[in-house]
Amino acid sequence: MQETEAPNGSAEKPASERIPELKKFKQELLVAGYSAQTIKMYETYARLFFEFAKKPAEQVERGDIISFIAEMKEKHNASNATMALALSALKFFFHTFLHRKIIEDIKVPKKAKKLPVVLTKEELKALFKATKHGRNRLILEFLYSTGCRVSEASKLKVDDLELEEGIARVKGGKGNKDRIIVLSKQWISDIKRYLKKKKKKSEFVFSKKNAKPISSDSIQRIVKEAAEKAGITKDVTPHKLRHSFATHLLENGENIRKIQELLGHSNLSTTQIYTQVTTAELKKVTSPLDAMGKKHAIKNASTEQQS
């Protein structure tokens, strides 16, 4: 959003300079334990709101927030999920941070429940094959074989790995929760060789040349480029690999509660969405029409034999 002209003709200061509370907002979110991605989004929507409202925080009313959300829908065709996220950001800002409960009864349509998009096993093989052996391929295989979030992969440390036990510890996951993940035997073999040959030692499993951790954005780019090389037409992201991990485990008959633990879901209902996309078991179901035809064919064959 561009700077606007103030009444005296000079450029109006950006919201981040006009609204002193915005500077402390990030600190409040950090203390509350929000992830870096959530903090970034909440800061963005709070800033956009004040650029829209053009008034100090103490003068903001319920109607200002309604107008802001309405403009998001009318002018920018924002999705229900985007409007809900913006409202959550403003609710935290005014209710939790400033203790001004002015958003109590504002509602937006519920987020549409879309089925997760997953990659087939053939697509995954092509994805890995399109990537050279080394860090990038290990990242792709790790994301799919563990179901970890991209932020968790970028922060993974060598000390978090228990290779002899075949597990790793994800520390400070979503909701600041720790959990144990299971590692692929093949991946363990490959990561041992990779870490041993690594020229620049780092405390992080996936690091840059300067030993600092690789960023989530870089991992996103690695996944996208690999998908393009593999000729996969789907919009492949790290989170799609997480979806694929859960779906394929269910198709292989794994217990859904175990999958819930591996994914780090607080509620089983979040994991249960994957039961709607497992096609392997659905394909075993016989259509009632086919079943009817089969019985009819058996009956006819029996009648012919009797005659």
For the question of residue 149 being annotated catalytic, the response is yes
DSSP assignment of 81-93: HHHHHHHHHHHII
Active-site entry in 47, 137, 149, 240: 149
CA angle 280, 284, 290 (to 5 degrees): 140
Active-site entry in 155, 242, 243, 248: 242
For the question of residue 239 being annotated catalytic, the response is yes
How many other CB atoms are found less than 10 A from the CB of residue 270?
12
Strands of 161-162's sheet in order across: 161-162, 167-170, 179-182
Region of 157 (left: φ > 0; alpha: ψ -120 to 50; beta: rest) is beta
Distance CA 84, CA 108 (A): 6
Distance CA 164, CA 156 (A): 17
For the question of residue 95 being annotated catalytic, the response is no
Return the H-helix or E-strand segment holding 180.
strand 179-182
For the question of residue 101 being annotated catalytic, the response is no
Q: Who's near 164: CB < 8 A, 6+ residues apart?
A: none
Active-site entry in 137, 174, 243, 248: 174
For the question of residue 174 being annotated catalytic, the response is yes
Q: How many residues does the chain have?
A: 307
For the question of residue 274 being annotated catalytic, the response is yes
Catalytic residues: 149, 174, 239, 242, 265, 274
